């Protein structure tokens, strides 16, 4: 028996050329099925793929309110962000000191000022000084970019727990260009197109791809109808965090304490006849109106992500799994086509096909681009924005991505086994698009963690 054991030891040494010690303890400890002999040269350690998944354990948002005249017109931006950050702690019983980073998508405010406001909001929410905060700005996709950045950092091993959030107060920070424009821009058409008003890019999409005014108004009516139905049935209650704030009477200056918990831009009685009466805003004889465009809004959202193994160790409920992300560039003059390019890229990166996606949250920046992307990708209308979109709910630029993630994952949870994969996507000013793929949290386990491959990728044609 001892001779047989010795032969096995010698054989192991030959099979493991990197093995240097001859001690029995080292040999026995080296016998493992967890990591291949490629060691550090392996492209990815596949021993813990399931446990290494980046998962979402909580996703919440404020209500979205009309800027300058809605429920948050007198609310400071940091007082919008703090409640959703605090909710992530309270609803999961997470120790806030364990968070490795808070990344906040935000667009319009001066960079250093907004970065300070986000840091202040973290303190208001109960995070200790040891938790860092930073902002990210990829315009309309900033909230989704923040989530993607945190997921990437967790994958890279920088930390195990992070928060991707979004914030915008378009009351405090309206869309405007500060300072002068470089005259060099006149020398390049594409650079000039980066300065086009977003409404003009909407008209360009409608004109170039034949999206009619009726189609746009119909999409807007559907958005309001679905958002109103979702609100009435309480579908948003799990994702919306009520915010205690104040409303100031502009005439008397009197302050009235209020709690805001419902999106205030939804028009349940919107009709095609009413929208048809509205005049085009950006182009004479155009088709883009205030009624078939996204609403200018105030709001915030936050998403708590962590490594699956950590979530399981803590007994956290897994709301969703972050599967892939893609950001792409498109012609700035028709920036609204971004989702039509970004969605296929993100879906392919996740190893899926468009038909595998059960739900889509596509930001309705303008009805023209929303209708175009839906038609271009030949998506089932019953799968898209089932609870309404930005034309009804609102589009606080930096917060929209986080809002969409919260809305998508809570709807996927409600649908259960009939909904496995979902996509969040949006177009981006200056000509870009972004998309991310999510999987429902309870739809996979350690033994079934990938889409079934029905074809065989043989290494050699001789194997056929």
117's CB contacts (< 8 A; 6+ apart) are 76, 77, 78, 81, 109, 167
Smallest CA-to-CA distance from 311 within 139, 98, 144 is with 98
pLDDT of 39 > 50? The answer is no
Q: pLDDT tens, 170-188?
A: 999 999 888 899 999 999 9
| Angstrom distance (rounded) from CA 276 to CA 292 | 10
DSSP string for residues in 76-89: -HHHHHHHHHHHHH
Residue for token digits 């309270």? 90
Report the first-to-last Cα separation within the chain, whole angstroms.
44
pLDDT value of position 1: 61
Q: How many CA atoms lie within 13 A of 237 on its CB side?
A: 6
pLDDT bin (cut points 50, 70, 90) of residue 49 is confident
Residue 301 structure tokens: 């959202």
How large is the average pLDDT for residues 147-175?
97
Q: Residue 234: is it exposed, middle or buried by C-beta count within 10 angstroms (0-12/13-18/19+)?
A: exposed
Task: Tell me the pLDDT of the chain averaged across its residues.
Answer: 90
Contact 402, 144 (CB under 8 A): yes
288: which DSSP letter?
Answer: -
43 versus 430: the higher-pLDDT residue is 430
24's CB contacts (< 8 A; 6+ apart) are 9
Residue 283 structure tokens: 């182009």
Q: pLDDT tens, 350-406?
A: 999 999 999 999 999 999 999 999 999 999 999 999 999 999 999 999 999 999 999
How large is the average pLDDT for residues 108-123?
97
| Angstrom distance (rounded) from CA 441 to CA 445 | 9
| Angstrom distance (rounded) from CA 432 to CA 326 | 11
Residue for token digits 């930096």? 398
Domains defined for the chain, CATH in brackets: 52-174+188-439 (3.40.47.10)
| Angstrom distance (rounded) from CA 150 to CA 100 | 9
pTM for this prediction: 0.86
Give me the residues paired with residue 306 across strands. Answer: 55, 161
Smallest CA-to-CA distance from 413 within 145, 65, 37, 56 is with 56
Q: pLDDT tens, 247-305?
A: 999 999 999 999 999 999 999 999 999 999 999 999 999 999 999 999 999 999 999 99
How large is the average pLDDT for residues 308-334?
96
pLDDT value of position 462: 52
What is the bridge-based pairing of β-strands 101-105 and 133-136?
parallel
Which positions are catalytic? Answer: 140, 395, 427
Burial pattern 18-45, b for ≥16 Cβ within 10 A else e, equals eeeeeeeeebeeeeeeeeeeeeeeeeee
454 versus 374: the higher-pLDDT residue is 374
Residue 430 structure tokens: 């200056």
pLDDT value of position 24: 42
| Angstrom distance (rounded) from CA 292 to CA 283 | 14
Q: pLDDT tens, 72-86?
A: 999 999 999 999 999
pLDDT of 108 > 50? The answer is yes
How large is the average pLDDT for residues 191-199?
95
pLDDT value of position 442: 84
pLDDT value of position 446: 63
Smallest CA-to-CA distance from 375 within 336, 347, 345 is with 336
Cα–Cα distances (Å) from 350 to 341, 359, 411, 423, in that order, read 15, 15, 20, 11
Percentage above 90 pLDDT, the chain:
82
Smallest CA-to-CA distance from 49 within 323, 288, 382 is with 323
Contact 399, 407 (CB under 8 A): no
pLDDT value of position 36: 37
pLDDT value of position 2: 67
Q: pLDDT tens, 4-13?
A: 666 666 555 6
| Angstrom distance (rounded) from CA 259 to CA 11 | 72
Residue for token digits 């260009």? 177
């Amino acid at each position: 028996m001892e001779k047989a054991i010795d032969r096995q030891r010698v054989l192991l040494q030959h099979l493991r050329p990197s093995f240097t010690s001859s001690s029995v303890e080292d040999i026995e400890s080296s016998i493992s099925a967890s990591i291949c002999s490629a060691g550090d040269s392996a492209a990815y350690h596949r021993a813990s793929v399931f446990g290494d998944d980046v998962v979402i354990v909580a996703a919440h948002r404020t209500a979205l309110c009309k800027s300058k005249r809605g429920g948050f017109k007198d609310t400071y931006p940091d007082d919008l962000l703090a409640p959703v950050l605090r909710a992530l702690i309270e609803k999961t019983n997470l120790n806030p000191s364990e968070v490795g980073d808070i990344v906040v998508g935000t667009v319009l405010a001066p960079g250093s000022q907004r970065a300070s406001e986000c840091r202040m909001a973290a303190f208001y929410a109960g995070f200790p000084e040891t938790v860092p905060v930073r902002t990210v700005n990829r315009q309309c996709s900033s909230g989704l970019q923040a989530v993607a950045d945190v997921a990437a950092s967790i994958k890279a091993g920088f930390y195990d727990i992070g928060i991707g959030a979004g914030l915008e107060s378009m009351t405090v920070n309206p869309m405007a260009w500060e300072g002068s424009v470089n005259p060099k821009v006149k020398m390049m058409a594409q650079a000039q197109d980066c300065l086009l008003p977003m409404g003009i890019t909407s008209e360009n999409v409608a004109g170039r791809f034949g999206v009619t005014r009726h189609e746009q108004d119909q999409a807007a009516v559907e958005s309001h109808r679905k958002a109103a139905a979702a609100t009435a049935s309480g579908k948003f209650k799990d994702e919306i965090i009520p915010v205690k704030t104040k409303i100031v009477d502009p005439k008397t200056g009197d302050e009235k304490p209020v709690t805001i918990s419902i999106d205030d831009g939804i028009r349940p009685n919107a009709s095609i006849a009413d929208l048809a009466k509205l005049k085009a805003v950006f182009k004479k004889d155009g088709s883009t109106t205030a009624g078939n465009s996204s609403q200018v809004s105030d709001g915030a959202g936050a998403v708590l992500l962590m490594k699956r193994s950590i979530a399981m160790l803590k007994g956290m409920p897994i709301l969703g799994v972050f599967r892939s992300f893609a950001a792409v560039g498109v012609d700035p003059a028709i920036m609204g086509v971004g989702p039509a390019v970004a969605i296929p890229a993100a879906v392919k990166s996740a190893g899926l096909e468009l038909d595998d996606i059960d739900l889509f949250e596509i930001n309705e920046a303008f009805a023209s681009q929303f209708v175009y992307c839906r038609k271009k990708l030949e998506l089932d209308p019953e799968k898209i924005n089932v609870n309404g979109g930005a034309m009804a709910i609102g589009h606080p630029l930096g917060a929209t991505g986080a809002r969409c993630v919260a809305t998508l994952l809570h709807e996927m949870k409600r649908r259960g086994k009939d909904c496995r994969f979902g996509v969040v996507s949006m177009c981006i000013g200056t000509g870009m698009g972004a998309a991310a793929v999510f999987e429902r949290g309870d739809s996979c386990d350690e033994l079934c963690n990938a889409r079934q491959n029905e074809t065989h990728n043989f290494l050699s044609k001789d194997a056929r």
